[in-house]
Amino acid sequence: MTPYSKDFPVSWHELHRDARALSWRLLEQGPWKGIIAITRGGLVPAAILCREMDIRLIDTICVVSYDSSEEGGAANVQGDLRILKGVEGDGEGYILIDDLVDTGKTAREIRKMLPKAHFATIYAKPAGKPLVDTFITEVSQDTWIRFPWDMEYTFSTPLADRQKG
Ligand SMILES: O=P(O)(O)OC[C@H]1O[C@H](OP(=O)(O)OP(=O)(O)O)[C@H](O)[C@@H]1O
Ligand SMILES: Nc1nc2[nH]cnc2c(=O)[nH]1
Ligand SMILES: [Mg+2]
């Protein structure tokens, strides 16, 4: 049984705007040595942050967590976190970026590896929020965020027709 009953679709435009808002917040807290993106969701926000903040040193922590093999591609079943690639050091002076924090499981594990990094996300749900140093938008725990890279344009049935069905 999925704990998600609401959908929160995010467009490229909204994501860009929110990532730029995060850049403003982080610029005020710098200087920064570089950015560490948590793959894969942190990669697009990392690219936007680097551009806005003139950061050229970009590293990755590569992890596998949620299972996207479910029918319909709804990637909402979380398994054990597997670290495919880490980084050296304790993260001091670095921004650690991910697209969102949900249960906080990913953040908790990665914060153990990089306790001095500044953990930033664009979106945060209540359970994961205490683990984040800076975020932009909070959504409820029962909401599944849909990122633009996971979606495509398709026909939308008019509301009146949906009621008939
Ligand atoms: O707070 P948590 O409950 O741990 O969830 C947050 C993580 O889940 C998503 O990644 P996902 O595992 O879906 O993989 P992806 O980034 O490779 O798409 C998201 O990008 C975070 O990394
Ligand atoms: N796309 C997406 N991935 C997630 N991983 C954990 N929570 C979420 C979510 O709300 N949306
Ligand atoms: Mg992720």
pLDDT at 127 over 50: yes
Give residue 64's domain range.
7-160
pTM: 0.91
- Asked if 150 is an active-site residue, the reply is no
Atom of ligand 2 nearest to the CA of 150: 1
For residue 2, is it within any domain?
no
Sign of the C-alpha dihedral computed for residues 88, 131, 103 and 69 taken in this order: negative
For residue 135, is it within any domain?
yes
For residue 100, is it within any domain?
yes
For residue 72, is it within any domain?
yes
For residue 24, is it within any domain?
yes
What pLDDT is attached to residue 19?
98
- Asked if 98 is an active-site residue, the reply is yes
Catalytic residue among 7, 18, 67, 98: 98
Distance CA 89, CA 145 (A): 32
For the chain, what is the mean pLDDT? Answer: 92
Cα-to-centroid distance, 26 and ligand 2 (Å): 23
Residues 6+ apart with CB under 8 A from 93: 31, 32, 33, 34, 116
pLDDT in tens, 34-74: 999 999 999 999 999 999 999 999 999 999 986 655 443 44
pLDDT at 3 over 90: no
For residue 1, is it within any domain?
no
Average pLDDT over residues 81-102: 97
pLDDT at 75 over 60: no
Lowest mean pLDDT among 76-80, 134-138, 160-164: 76-80
Amino acid at 127: A
Distance CA 10, CA 8 (A): 6
The verdict on whether residue 157 carries a ligand-binding annotation is: no
What pLDDT is attached to residue 70?
46
Q: Please tell me the residue having the least CA distance from ligand 1 atom 11.
A: 66
Atom of ligand 1 nearest to the CA of 101: 1
Instruction: Check which CATH number belongs to the domain holding 87 and give it.
Output: 3.40.50.2020
- Asked if 67 is an active-site residue, the reply is no
For residue 56, is it within any domain?
yes
In 3D, which of 43, 88, 83 has the Cα closest to residue 63?
Answer: 83
For residue 165, is it within any domain?
no
Structural domain count of the chain: 1
Average pLDDT over residues 106-112: 96
